[in-house]
Amino acid sequence: MAEAKRVPEERPESNLGLGLDGFEQFFTVNTDETGVSGTLSQDPYMQGQVEKLLDRFTELMSLSVDQRVETSKTASQLIDNQRQLVATQQILIKLMERSIELTRHITSIEEKLPGLYELPRVVESLRQRVAELEGVETR
């Protein structure tokens, strides 16, 4: 069930001991002056200050939004750079593996080179031996 609305009892004498003198002035509306409520000051200097503060607040909010947009762009650029770095590292790893394979192949060739350098001498020695066996004179 709906509760009954509470109607406050007006007892001005009960507020005397609470130090609330003038409290009701904050909630009264002065419509006879410029149509502005009692919570805003009618002082033109204060009005100018409020407008300056609102302008400054608007600038700060705009700056905050711009900064967030830039931060977002920077973050996405950083993510792209990290992806490129990972791809580059993978390429370097493959190149290093290929370099190791080539180094092993070159090492095996270098191990066979002394035998290759000896080949002309061995061939000459065999040619002389065949010539001796067949009785052919060589110079």
The tally of domains found in the chain comes to: 1
Give pTM, 2 decimals.
0.44
Share the mean pLDDT of the chain.
80
* pLDDT tens-place string over residues 55-98: 999 999 999 999 999 999 999 999 999 999 999 999 999 999 99
- Distance (Å, whole) CA 15 – CA 91: 82
Residue 2 lies in a domain: no
Residue 27 lies in a domain: no
Q: In the Cβ-directed half-sphere of 77, how many Cα atoms lie within 13 Å?
A: 6
User: Averaged over 46-59, what is the pLDDT?
Assistant: 91
Domain, as residue range, for 64: 41-134
Residue 120 lies in a domain: yes
Q: Annotate 1-12 with b (16+ C-beta within 10 A) or e (fewer).
A: eeeeeeeeeeee
- Distance (Å, whole) CA 30 – CA 39: 10
Residue 26 lies in a domain: no
Residue 86 lies in a domain: yes
Residue 82 lies in a domain: yes
